[in-house]
Each structure stands twice: as C-alpha cells, then as structure tokens.
Amino acid sequence: MDQAGIIRDLLTWLESHLDQPLSLDHVAARAGYSKWHLQRMFKDVTGHAIGAYIRARRLSKAAVALRLTARPILDIALQYRFDSQQTFTRAFKKQFAQTPALYRRSPEWSAFGMRPPIRLGEFTLPQPHFVTLPETHLMGITQSYSCTLEQVSEYRNEMRMQFWRQFLSNAPSIPPVLYGLHEPRPNQEKDDEQEVFYTTAVLPEQASGCPHEAHPVTLEGGEYVQFNYEGPTSGIQGFILMIYGTCMPTLNLTRRHGQDIERFYPSHKDKVEANPQKLRCEYLIPVRR
C-alpha cells in the first residue's frame, strides 16, 4: 500500500474543501479507512495530526480573507466552520498571537502563524534573493478590477494580458523590460471582493509608442525579496500563490507597505499583438526582515 500516495491525494482534496464539513468521520469515509487508521497513517507520513492540520489551514485561509477583503469577521469565521466569532477569535489568537481585528488593521502583513499546505514528494521551493532597489521613475498606466478571492487566479492572468495588450498596442516593438506593479485592497462596496490596482509601466527611455495617457509612476525603493520565474504563462499565478502561501511563511517574512513588482523580460520573438506562451519574470515583494 502506497501510504504517501494516499495521503498526497487526501491533502489535495482537503485543500479544496476547507470550507466544507471535515469531521474525522467524514474525512475517513472519503479516504476509505477507519478514522483511527487514517489518523495514524496521516501522522506517520506528514508528522502532523490531521485535525490540527485542518484547523491550521482553515485559520490560514481565514487570515488571507481578513487581509484582502472587507468581509465581516463573523462571516469569515462561519465560512471556515467555526461555530461563533468568539471560538474563531480564540483559535486565531492562539495561532497568530493577535486577534482577527488587529491582524486586519496592521499596516504590515507578517507571515508569522501562517501554515503552508503540506507538499509530499520531490519539491523545491523557489530560491529567494534579497535585494535593495533604488527609487525608480517609470511611465505607466494604472487600471483596476474587482474579484472574489476564489476568482483571483483566473482574473489576474486574464487582466494582466488585457492591460499589457492595451498598453503596447501602438508600440513599434516590445521594450526589453516591462514593469507590472500590483496592489490589492479590500473593496469597500462589495465586502466579499478585493479591488486590484495594476500598473503597466516601462522606463521613460523605452516609452516610445506608449498610450498618450501614460503618466509618471514612482517605484518605491527599499528592501524586497525576489523570486525568479521562467515557464508557461499559465503557470505564473500558481507560482505567485506558492510564494505567498509557502515561501513567505517558511522564511518568516513580513510584507511591508508597497506594491508587488513584476519585472518581465520578453523574448525578442514575442509580438506586440500576441499572448506569449512563456514568461521570464522576476517577482519582488516589499519586505522587512
């Protein structure tokens, strides 16, 4: 019996059902084992108790919702199967060392307390590079869109490509470096959505052919953690989610105020009017160590 394979499949299933009832009886029935045998097998393979792991992952998902939406705390607590706001607050404070309300209001976002999903098998985390950027002046356009947290992966890929096509529509060629500046905020009108501001920009000397509404944009200087991505365009969003969900907690970093930076290096074969099939991108997050 391939215990690791069984638990790997179970981990994938759990991750997509954290807002559903997940009693040990329910999970054991899904896995096809007695709950005693499943608990023992899960602990042997992962080193963690299954019940504690599910609760830690639910609280981590709730923490993201607190930071990126304006949903009432009680709504978030109920979504992740806590029976009251008081029960949720006690569990949240135990894991994150502060109340949900303080966690939401903090100007910085510490990765302390976040429980990354367990990954079994061969898996290598992207290598972090700590860099200090000077203040940089760009020419760009800022646009925005709103979506739920469940929609963010699909929307972000789609809107990124749409905004870049618009920005480069009159350019004679694609500049050698493209900057995408990303900043999500809770949507004040729809509390279950986040509003995402995305700036497409280039260096001033590469701004020939940019739309006439392009304006000066200042990229804030300071310390950033940089992760490099090279692969299919469809994989960039999963890469970013892995950075936030696994790399930042593993490195115990605090995200300070500022915009995430996507720095693209297009291939000379890319065409302005086409969607690139592959990307080479440096993804930078403003941090405080």
pLDDT one-digit tens code per residue, 233-245: 989 988 998 999 9
**Are residues 21 and 75 part of one domain?**
yes
Strands in 159-275 per DSSP E: 178-186, 193-202, 215-219, 222-232, 254-255, 260-264
As given in the structure block, the two tokens for residue 86 are: 């008081």
Residue 121 predicted with pLDDT over 90:
no
Give residue-wise pLDDT tens across range 21-59.
Answer: 999 998 988 888 899 999 999 999 999 999 999 999 999
Asked if residue 117 is part of any domain, the answer here is no
Are 91 and 229 in the same domain? no
Q: Residue 95: give the domain boundaries.
A: 3-110
Both 270 and 135 in a single domain?
yes
Tokens of 200: 């497409």
SS3 148: strand
Strand partners, 232: 278
Task: Please give the distance of CA 271 from its chain centroid, rounded to a whole number.
Answer: 29
Task: List the single range of 93-107, 146-160, 261-275 with lowest mean pLDDT.
Answer: 261-275
Q: In one letter, which amino acid is 263?
A: R
Amino acid at 96: F
Based on the domain organization, do 56 and 183 belong to the same domain?
A: no
Average pLDDT over residues 265-280: 76
Neighbouring residues of 18: CB distance < 8 A, sequence distance ≥ 6: 54, 57, 58, 61, 80
Which pLDDT band, with edges at 50, 70 and 90, does 227 fall under?
very high
The CATH number of residue 133's host domain is 3.20.80.10
Same-domain check for residues 172 and 86: no
Angle between the N-to-C axes of helices 3-15 and 50-68, in degrees from 0 to 180, rounded to the nearest 10 = 30
Mean pLDDT computed over every residue of the chain: 92
Q: In percent, how much of the chain has pLDDT > 90?
A: 73
* Per-residue pLDDT tens over the stretch 12-30: 999 999 999 999 998 988 8
Q: Structure tokens of 165? A: 């096509």
138 shares its domain with 100: no
* Assessment of whether the complete model's pTM goes beyond 0.85: yes
Please give the pLDDT value at position 88. 98
My answer on whether 83 and 155 are in the same domain is no
Residue 124: pLDDT over 90: no
Token pair for residue 166? 């618009």
Q: 103 with 180, same domain? A: no
Q: Is the pLDDT of residue 246 over 90?
A: yes
Which helix (H) or strand (E) is 60 found in, with range?
helix 50-68
Q: Are residues 138 and 278 in the same domain?
A: yes
How many whole angstroms separate alpha carbon 149 and alpha carbon 147? 7
Q: Give the separation between CA 154 and CA 172, rounded to whole angstroms.
A: 29
- pLDDT score recorded for residue 209: 81
The verdict on residue 199 lying in a domain is yes
Q: Are residues 57 and 151 in the same domain?
A: no
245 located within any domain: yes
Tokens of 68: 């990126």
Residue 51 CA to residue 235 CA, distance in Å, equals 31
CATH number at residue 67: 1.10.10.60
The CA distance from 137 to 112, in Å, is 33
Does residue 122 lie in a domain region?
Answer: no
Q: Reply yes or no on whether the pLDDT at 271 is more than 70.
A: no
Over range 69-78, report the average pLDDT: 95
Q: Within this chain, do residues 55 and 7 fall inside the same structural domain, yes or no? A: yes
For residues 221-230, average pLDDT: 97
Does a structural domain hold residue 118? no
d(CA 289, CA 287) in angstroms, rounded, equals 6
* 273 pLDDT more than 70: no
Give the CA angle between residues 279, 160, 260 to the nearest 5°. Answer: 80
How many other C-beta atoms lie within 10 A of the C-beta of residue 99? 15
Q: What is the pLDDT of residue 188?
A: 84
Whether residues 35 and 90 share a domain: the answer is yes
Mean pLDDT of 145-165: 89
In this predicted model, what pLDDT tens digit does every residue of 166-216 receive, in sequence order?
A: 998 888 888 999 999 999 988 888 988 999 999 999 999 998 888 889 999
The confidence band for 63, taking pLDDT boundaries of 50, 70 and 90, is: very high
pLDDT at 269: 66
pLDDT of 1: 57
- Total structural domains in the chain? 2
Domain end among 110, 144, 162: 110
